[in-house]
Amino acid sequence: MSSTRIRRDKGKFIGMACLLFACVAGQCDPGVGSMVPGAQGPQGDPGPQGAQGETGAAGPAGADGSLRVYGDGSAGDRVVSSDEDWNSGPNQPLNLQFSNLTIDAGVTLTLPSGMTIRVTGDFANHGTIIVLPAADGGFAGLDGPGSSDDLSSVNVDPVAGIATLSAQAGEFGGNSDVQLAGRGGVGLSEFEARQLVAITTIAGGGGAVGGTDQEAGVTSNSGSKGGGALRILAMGTITNEAGGEIIANGDEGEGGGGGGGLVILASQTIVDNSGTIRANGGDGENGDSNEGPSGGGGGGIVQLLAPTVAGSGLIDVVGGSGGTPGSGVSATTRFAGGGGGASGGDGGNGGMVPAGANVMPNAAGDGEIGFSLITEVDPTALL
């Protein structure tokens, strides 16, 4: 009997060992002796924050903040391939911060006075840029066909613009007295001209009134407008190609001629002028039966600023010619000539009218030459 019990115990031990081996192998019945994980306990509190790491290496330096004078290029590239008027035309841009700007050959781009064009890349002119005149000439009356068009004949002085003194109107009165001429406006010195690296909507001074003129039934007496201002700023190259023109002349033919305008081309790289830049004074009005001749406008100012200024193009800043005396003054009420507006150069004086029924007035003066200024320097800090 004892041997029989020993065999049972041995069998029971073997069975339990097999069950244990099967559970370890993942084959046991989950209901009997299974090893199922219990529910996850709550998360413990976070540990203390570790020590702050070392500061990383500094990144590359950003662009110089002063370079903002060249704009941000947000208007993108623009090519003017047909005539455009940015003063009042349908294509006038509201954003003047270009990446690159090109004016094609044979195209005329008309600009209002006082415009600054900013370019982060290159500016290239192959066509014609005309800057409109701005500073008003003097005024002394308007008589239209109807009474509603009549305006006072009290003389209004012309706008001086960048000049130090505005032009002066001549005297007017009867033929028994000498009528003295008006003085031309007073322009700038070269030192003063070099300080003009910013612009406003006016540049050359307006001319003073001369005498009455009639056209299409309207009698008026006014002086010519002064030339306008344009500034182009580019980080890249500014090129005025051979055949390209930039024109900012004073108006002419009404009283004293207008003073020439102001053109500033400033590049951080190079200005290459192989074309023509004009900022001439306007011619004075000729004398006729009721007036002496008026003076020419003074020449304007052109400034080129860049580390390199190249090209063999023309920069023209001559003064306007004084008006011719004509065949003589015979009107009972007559006007002496008005002075020309000034800019870089002085305006010319008008022509005096002697007393007498039918007299020859004095000649009017020409406007003086303006300034063509070249400065080879990075202009960024100056702008």
Please check the confidence at residue 9 and state whether its pLDDT lies above 50.
no
Give residue 11's pLDDT: 45
Is the model's pLDDT at 238 over the cut of 50?
Answer: yes
The per-residue pLDDT for range 277-326, each reduced to its tens digit, is 999 999 999 999 999 999 999 999 999 999 999 999 999 999 999 999 99
* Overall number of domains in the chain: 1
pLDDT, residue 292, reads 97
235 located within any domain = yes
- Strands 270-273 and 84-85 turn out to be unpaired
- pLDDT, residue 65, reads 64
Whether pLDDT at 15 is above 90:
no
For residue 190, being part of any structural domain is answered with: yes
Average pLDDT over residues 172-190: 97
Q: Is the pLDDT of residue 244 over 50?
A: yes
Name which residue leads in pLDDT, 36 or 193.
193
Q: Pick the range with the lowest mean pLDDT from 106-110, 140-144, 227-231, 289-293.
A: 140-144
Least confident window among 28-37, 115-124, 169-178, 300-309: 28-37
Tally of CB atoms within 10 A around 178: 14
pLDDT at 6 over 90: no
Segment among 8-12, 213-217, 346-350 with least mean pLDDT: 8-12
pLDDT at 42: 80
Structural domain including 329 reads: 74-136+152-383
Whole-prediction pTM value?
0.83
Q: What is the DSSP track for 275-303? A: SEEE-PPPPPPPPBTTB---PPPPP-EEE
* Rounded mean pLDDT, 360-367: 97
Across 219-224, average pLDDT: 94
Confidence (pLDDT) at 47: 74
Structure confidence at residue 107 (pLDDT): 98
Instruction: For residue 225, tell me if it sits in a domain.
Output: yes
Instruction: Tell whether the torsion through CA atoms of 31, 33, 36 and 38 is positive or negative.
Output: positive
Question: Is residue 6 included in any domain, yes or no?
Answer: no
User: Are 163 and 259 a contacting pair, CB within 8 Å?
Assistant: yes
Question: Taken in order 314, 318, 323, 325, is the CA torsion positive or negative?
Answer: negative
Rg of the chain over Cα atoms, rounded to whole angstroms, equals 42
End-to-end CA distance of the chain: 120
Higher model confidence: residue 145 or residue 81? 81
Has residue 60 got a pLDDT over 80? no
What sign does the dihedral 197-200-204-208 (CA atoms) show?
A: negative
In-domain check, residue 371: yes
- pLDDT band at 89, cuts 50/70/90? confident
Residue 358 has pLDDT above 60, yes or no: yes
Average pLDDT over residues 120-128: 98
Structural domain contains residue 4: no
**Side chain identity at 275, as an amino acid letter?**
G
Average pLDDT over residues 123-143: 96
- Rounded to 5 degrees, φ, ψ at 227 are -65, 155
Report if residue 32 sits inside a domain: no
Per-residue pLDDT for 37 more than 80?
no
For residue 98, being part of any structural domain is answered with yes
Closest to 342 measured CA to CA, from 186, 237, 200: 186
Average pLDDT over residues 171-200: 97
Residues 262-282: tens digit of each pLDDT: 999 999 999 999 999 999 999
Would you place residue 61 in the very low, low, confident or very high pLDDT band (cuts 50, 70, 90)?
low
- Residues 208, 183: Cα–Cα separation, whole Å: 9
- Residue 62 binned pLDDT confidence (cut-offs 50, 70, 90): low
Say how many C-beta atoms besides its own lie within 10 A of residue 200's C-beta.
13
